[in-house]
Structure 1
């Protein structure tokens, strides 16, 4: 179990470094890059929902969204379903994603090679473990945010 935890910690560090380098290539601060990833993955989101997911203060989120919008990564649209006419949702602009995909190409190719060494049953177990680890990390993050 210790070896697994140490490996996950090493993976976390290495992925953070990879994301930092990719963000630097497209002129995004780390926190901006992570918020963009959240919008790409879970959006469109309201700024307050994004703020909660990221564990950031709403005022901090405003600055992040301003930078992402200026960079052409996201737009803020009026929420037609909201009762408050000022309500907006944040939506990622997909046309810039090709830049990110190109920067992740090396990692994606390495992952394809790595996964080729496992059969379907083993891949299902690995995917389940990673999903459950991600869920555990989310719960731990939520607990810290709520304090």
Structure 2
């Protein structure tokens, strides 16, 4: 057997190991989000929308639907639940030409409740990151951003089938 084929096989095994680890991470984060949602009384999709609003808001319902990869008609129920739960506000958009336009924003005063629920994971991540150098953390962050971009591209491709 040649050195090239051994190296090639070793590389394929490493790539498979990375993909398997990402699948495991996806499952574990889904389980964590489900537990989080149970404690916060948020459905998975509601939490996704609230997180998007906290990170990128305020947004129009249609912009939020686009960012969440959801049909705009689905947003009404999600926003109704989030508003009933006291997580968001919906107000008329004063800058819009259409006087019916609405802007949605997270009620940031509720964020400490969210932070408390994620405190355990955040502490675990802080402890985990202590074991890496600054250069290694830069590499990991770059890999995760690029993985996110690849996921975005794959999502768009599936949505446009």
TM-score by length of 2: 0.88
Distance 1:7 1:55 in 2: 25
For 1:98 and 1:62, how far apart are their aligned partners in 2?
Answer: 26
Q: State the 4+ residue runs in structure 1 displaced beyond 3 angstroms.
A: none
Larger Rg: 2
- More off after superposition, 114-123 vs 31-40: 31-40
Q: What secondary structure sits across from 2:131 in the alignment? A: coil
SS of the equivalent of 2:104 reads: strand
Deviation at 1:110? 0.6
**For 1:34 and 1:13, how far apart are their aligned partners in 2?**
16
What residue is the counterpart of 1:100 in the other structure? 114
Find out whether 1:13 has 2:27 as its counterpart.
yes
Is 1:143 the counterpart of 2:157? The answer is yes
For the pair 1:37 / 2:51, whether they are aligned, the reply is: yes
Residue 94 (structure 2) pairs with residue 68 (structure 1): no
The 1-side partners of 2:51 and 2:154 are apart by 19
Name the counterpart of 2:99.
85
Secondary structure of the residue aligned to 1:90 is strand
Gaps of 5+ in 2: 1-14
Instruction: Please give the per-residue CA displacement for 1:28-67, whole angstroms capped at 9, x wherever unaligned.
Output: 1111111111111111111001111112122211000000
SS at match of 1:2: helix
- Structure 1 unaligned regions, length at least 5: none
| Residue number in structure 1 paired with 2:129 | 115
Distance 2:81 2:37 in 1: 13
The answer on 1:22 being equivalent to 2:42 is: no
Structure 1 residues 49, 55: closer, same or farther in 2, change over 3 A?
Answer: same
Please state whether the residue corresponding to 1:117 is helix, strand or coil: coil
| Paired positions, count | 147
